[in-house]
């Protein structure tokens, strides 16, 4: 099945700093989503971005499908941004349709 | 428009008991997915259902686990004769089709 790798696995920032999280995937995808799992365990949808660039406030994401990677940018980070960021993809065919395959996540800690 | 609803949020069962987890998809969504998050394994797909049909159960253990999505009412994930290794967070997601999946808050199952 499709493989998803996220980097870095851990990231510690001071409040106000910017960061870039990366997601590499091993095959063509129908869909790609970014999630934030907050300290209470809830999965929050950030972006649905199988290709192109999107922005939402301090967050933006870019997916280059032909090169099989996606980037999540966090600007002017806040302590409430802390948590785990997951990239998840839906592969094309070969039993990968519909199901999301998750990366292991990036644990972000933003210190005041 | 209410999001994906899951209940209970926390469930404690003794070894050998049955666990029933419920999921009500977002209004207008006919596709339901169950995922499990184990501490050392990350988020993994379990099963994909549409109304009255199991489409893909390739991620679900062959024994003790079953899922349904009846014509009326919520989707149910049922775990019979629970063991300690079943302790995990179980997430339900829904989508209107093969598109963005929206996740519920999860049910945290603890087996004692």
Report the pLDDT averaged over residues B4-8.
Answer: 97
Report the pLDDT averaged over residues A80-86.
Answer: 96
> Is the predicted pLDDT of residue B1 greater than 60, yes or no?
no
* B103 with A95: Cβ contact below 8 A: no
> Which is it for the CA torsion B45, A10, A26, A59, positive or negative?
positive
Q: What does the pLDDT look like over B37-91, one tens digit per residue?
A: 998 788 999 999 998 899 999 999 999 999 999 999 999 999 999 999 999 999 9
Report the pLDDT averaged over residues A13-39.
Answer: 95
Closest to B106 (Cβ–Cβ): which among A41, A99, A100?
Answer: A41
Residue B97: which pLDDT band, with cuts at 50, 70 and 90?
confident
d(CA A5, CA A38): 20
Q: Which residues of B touch A (CB under 8 A)?
A: 31, 33, 35, 42-45, 48, 55-56, 58-59, 89, 91, 93, 98-103, 105-106, 108
Of A9-13, A67-71, B30-34, B39-43, least confident by mean pLDDT is B39-43
Q: Express as a percent the part of chain A with pLDDT over 70.
A: 96
pLDDT at A34: 98
The per-residue DSSP string of chain B comes to: ----EEE-SEEEE-TT--EEEEEEPPTT--EEEEEEEETTTEEEEEEEEETTEEEE-TTS-SSSEEEE--SSS-EEEEE-S--GGG-EEEEEEEESSSS--EE---EEEEE-
Residue of B nearest to A32 (CA): B100
Question: Mean pLDDT over all residues of chain A?
Answer: 94
* A99 with B100: Cβ contact below 8 A: no
Residue A94: which pLDDT band, with cuts at 50, 70 and 90?
low
Residue A98: which pLDDT band, with cuts at 50, 70 and 90?
confident
* A41 with B98: Cβ contact below 8 A: no
């Amino acid at each position: 099945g499709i493989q998803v790798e996220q980097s870095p696995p851990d990231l510690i920032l001071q409040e106000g700093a910017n960061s870039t999280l990366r997601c590499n995937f091993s095959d063509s995808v129908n869909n790609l989503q970014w999630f934030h799992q907050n300290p209470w365990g809830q999965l929050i949808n950030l972006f649905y971005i199988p290709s192109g660039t999107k922005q939402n406030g301090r967050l933006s994401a870019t997916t280059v499908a032909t090169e099989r990677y996606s980037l999540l940018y966090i600007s002017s980070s806040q302590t409430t941004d802390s948590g785990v960021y997951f990239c998840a993809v839906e592969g094309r065919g070969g039993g990968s349709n519909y199901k999301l395959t998750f990366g292991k996540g990036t644990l972000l800690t933003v210190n005041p | 428009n209410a999001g994906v609803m899951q209940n209970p949020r926390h469930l404690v069962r003794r070894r050998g008991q049955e666990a029933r987890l419920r999921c009500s998809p977002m209004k207008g969504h006919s596709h339901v997915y169950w995922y499990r998050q184990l501490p050392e394994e990350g988020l993994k797909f379990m099963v994909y259902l549409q109304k009255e049909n199991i489409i893909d159960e390739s991620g679900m253990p062959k024994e003790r686990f079953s899922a349904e999505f009846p014509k009326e009412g919520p989707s149910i994930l049922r775990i019979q004769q629970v063991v300690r290794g079943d302790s995990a967070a179980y997430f339900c997601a829904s989508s209107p089709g093969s598109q963005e999946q929206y996740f519920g808050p999860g049910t945290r199952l603890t087996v004692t």
